[in-house]
Amino acid sequence: MVNRKTAKFLSFRYTILAIIFVVLAGGLVLLPKYEKHEGIDPGELLSNAVSPERYISTDELAHKIIGQDPSFLLIDVRSEDEFNKYTLPNAINITLKNLLDEDSLTYLDQSQYDVVLFSNDNFYADQAWILGNRLNYKNLKVLKGGINNWYKTIINPPIPTENMAAQEFDLYAFRKSASMFFGVVYPEQIKVVKKPVVKKVIPKKVIPIKKKKKMPVEGGC
């Protein structure tokens, strides 16, 4: 049996529950407010940053450009001068400063295209990637090694030495043909047009031999 004190206490149980409710709800109002950070969780950002999947190699990119893959956008994050001097085909220039402008958001904050960021090295592109990824922009990738690596591997690929594996030769063949696509001309490509030695055919002189006409026998005996 419940003793008298407990029974007295329990008769107030609904009042007590109501007070607990009010205190909890009031606590919500009185709690110190703080600004929640925009974008993804820091831990998630870190695991994305460590993942090698965020890089695209120059070979893969070359393959995509040559195959006229429509599913990606190339974004050059270098300054405008550098962009005007040299850039990859069909690249768009969004400098690191203008990365979070409203105009650039149409390119970066979308889910249709893969976005490939690049700079001279991957240094600035990485910074742009971090900024974008933190704001939860999807499909951002960084060109591994940037334009420098592009130049080293695609435009001017190192010739493999004889003792290298067959794969190296295959890779070289791909890179070489890719560089030809991007306008590099190799010495063996230049055709030296040799003039064929034409023997002069000396036309034979036709010397007509006059046939002696048989003279009709004159006279007669």
Q: Is 21 in the site for another protein (CB under 8 A)?
A: yes
- In the three-class reduction of DSSP (H, G, I as helix; E, B as strand; rest coil), residue 199 is classed as coil
Q: Is 10 in the site for another protein (CB under 8 A)?
A: no
Q: Which of 28/207 has CB closer to another protein?
A: 28
Shortest distance (Å) from residue 140 CB to another protein: 21
What is the distance between the alpha carbons of residues 189 and 183, in angstroms, rounded to a whole number?
12
Among positions 2, 25, 185, 192, the unique one binding another protein when judged by CB under 8 A: 25
What is the distance between the alpha carbons of residues 31 and 27, in angstroms, rounded to a whole number?
6
CA 130-131-137 angle, 5° bins: 90
Number of Cβ within a 10 Å radius of residue 151: 16
What is the distance between the alpha carbons of residues 18 and 20, in angstroms, rounded to a whole number?
5
Q: Which of 18/164 has CB closer to another protein?
A: 18
Q: Is 18 in the site for another protein (CB under 8 A)?
A: yes
Among positions 1, 5, 11, 31, the unique one binding another protein when judged by CB under 8 A: 31
Query: How far is C-alpha 73 from the chain's CA centre?
Result: 7
User: Applying CB under 8 A, which part among 24-32, 53-61, 66-74, 184-192 lies near another protein?
Assistant: 24-32
What is the distance between the alpha carbons of residues 147 and 100, in angstroms, rounded to a whole number?
23
Shortest distance (Å) from residue 53 CB to another protein: 17
Q: Is 24 in the site for another protein (CB under 8 A)?
A: yes
Q: Where along the sequence are the contacts to another protein (CB under 8 A)? A: 14, 18, 21-22, 24-26, 28-29, 31
